[in-house]
Amino acid sequence: MSAPIPPVFSIARRRFLQSAAGMLSLSALGQDGPDIVNAKKRRVGLIGAGWYGKSDLWRLAQVAPIEIVSICDPDRRMLTGAAAMASERQASRKMPRVYGDYREMLRERDLDIVLVGSPDHWHALHAIAAIESGADVYLQKPISRDVMEGEAILATARKHNRVVQVGTQRKSTPHLIDAKKQIVDAGLLGKVGHVDMCCYFPMRANGNPPVEPVPDYLDYEMWTGPAPLRPYDGLPHLRWWRTFTEYGNGIMGDMCVHMLDTVRWMLKLGWPKRISSTGGIYVQKGGKSNITDTQTAVFEYPEFDAVWQHRSWGVAPDPDYPWALFLHGEKGVLKASTMRADFVPLDPKGKTIHFDCLYEREKYPEDLKEANIELNAAPATRLHMLDFLSAIEKRGRPVADIEEGHISTASCILANLAMQTGETLRYNPARREITNSKQANALLRREYRKPWRRPEPAKV
């Protein structure tokens, strides 16, 4: 039996609709009213047909009429499977065109929207090419593998006046929207003097598979692209690629970016003034993984520090909040995660306020048949897609605009650079440089594997 929809959603949904970022069609959210979002059927392409790329595509198809025109992936088996699923899910039953090279797909210049669900090391090239093709873009987080890639995406989006929504969908998570409104914005915390963020999930694959021949259905050269070409030791899909710094920014870039972005949204924060970090591989030394298994980072703001910690081993100090944020105020603390939120007042006579995660099993029963779906995240992604469509309709900025995604992504990358160099770093976004470390500044641009050429920030 499906769980009942928590009452908190009705409040969160109403407030979301009333917000400037959420001027959405009432009927698109299951209420009576004019359907402004559904006014136009949009032509959509997907780059990266893996787990989350397909998940984002299906969520978009659930909330708006779209034609899935093309799908691109260097794995032919994954590609053909995604195309068949798309044909089944769209009203026209048309089979999307399939491509192994994103440049061929975008050369058609016939897409209104491009979803980028490729691994992190590809995000910049894919997003920039999609923007330059004339499409609006839904870009998964983290937006880039290095800081200058993020600057280049931001500059390109502004130059071409394209809407870019980043997949930091906590800003569209119903119970977090409500917690922000009822606790943070209402002043129940009082002055915030410290923020903690954490992840204690076992995120590192840490295996040691043997090197083997590349299967004929995978274009490993294209999958690797501008990254270093590692010896092939099995399909890199799902979490295997995330365990290597060649392709991503570790747990900092995967998990901290979500929580830092949420903290920044809740507390109206911009760039940190200074960033420091320590960590390494302290426990899980047996496999090939080269990302940290333990790391702490401090993001310094004028009136408090936001401190991140992750461990991919051991147990979480608070079992209810293994991946979470904690806003510590003079009047109480707000604990928040993708699954729940709790306000605990300092005054023992005060009222504890609990927020439940929304599940939409009854409204979208097809979710229950989807492999590997994150049921708790699906409603948030649907609202995120609606906000994206609303921004496209208005030619405005979405709630997770590319600039906000860049600040959150770059801050996490800078934390990794601070750990690598052993320095506390200051980044000047106007000058696009680290002002107090030549060593770290030289690491703002990673080297690309030939013949790929890295993008540079264009003049706006």
pLDDT over 80 at 378, yes or no = yes
If phi > 0 it is left, if psi is from -120 to 50 it is alpha, else beta; for residue 411 that is alpha
What mean pLDDT is predicted for residues 307-334? 98
Report the DSSP beta bridge partners of residue 305. 300
* CB distance 332 to 188 below 8 Å: yes
What mean pLDDT is predicted for residues 125-133? 98
In this predicted structure, what is the pLDDT of residue 458? 65
What is the CB-side half-sphere exposure of residue 275 using CA atoms within 13 A? 29
Query: CA-CA distance, 344 to 100, in Å (whole number)?
Result: 51
Q: Which residue has the higher pLDDT, 193 or 19?
A: 193
The beta-strand segments (E) located in 134-264 are: 136-139, 164-166, 192-199
In this predicted structure, what is the pLDDT of residue 238? 86
Q: Identify the CA nearest to 29 among candidates 342, 296, 364, 264.
A: 364
Report the DSSP beta bridge partners of residue 26. none
Residue with tokens 């959210």: 29
Domain with CATH 3.30.360.10 in the chain: 172-374+405-441
Domain with CATH 3.40.50.720 in the chain: 22-169+378-400
| pLDDT tens sequence across 279-306 | 999 999 999 999 999 999 999 999 999 9
In this predicted structure, what is the pLDDT of residue 244? 98
Q: Which residue has the higher pLDDT, 62 or 4?
A: 62
pLDDT over 50 at 274, yes or no = yes
Query: CA-CA distance, 313 to 418, in Å (whole number)?
Result: 23
* CB distance 445 to 148 below 8 Å: yes
| pLDDT tens sequence across 401-418 | 999 999 999 999 999 999
In this predicted structure, what is the pLDDT of residue 40? 83
Angstrom CA distances, 271 to 67, 100, 143, 299, stand at 38, 37, 16, 9
| pLDDT tens sequence across 246-262 | 999 999 999 999 999 99
In this predicted structure, what is the pLDDT of residue 457? 85
In this predicted structure, what is the pLDDT of residue 459? 60
Looking at CATH, the fold of the domain delimited by 172-374+405-441 is given as Dihydrodipicolinate Reductase; domain 2 (3.30.360)
| pLDDT tens sequence across 1-21 | 333 323 322 333 333 333 333
Strand order in the sheet with 353-356: 274-280, 294-301, 304-311, 192-199, 323-329, 332-337, 340-345, 353-356
Angstrom CA distances, 29 to 20, 389, 400, 431, stand at 16, 13, 19, 42
Residue with tokens 């992504």: 409
In this predicted structure, what is the pLDDT of residue 62? 96
DSSP summary character for residue 292: -
* CB distance 277 to 297 below 8 Å: yes
Structure tokens at 307: 């401190």
pLDDT over 90 at 385, yes or no = yes
Residue with tokens 């992190």: 120
* CB distance 83 to 98 below 8 Å: yes
Q: Which run of H or E residues covers position 334? A: strand 332-337
Looking at CATH, the fold of the domain delimited by 22-169+378-400 is given as Rossmann fold (3.40.50)
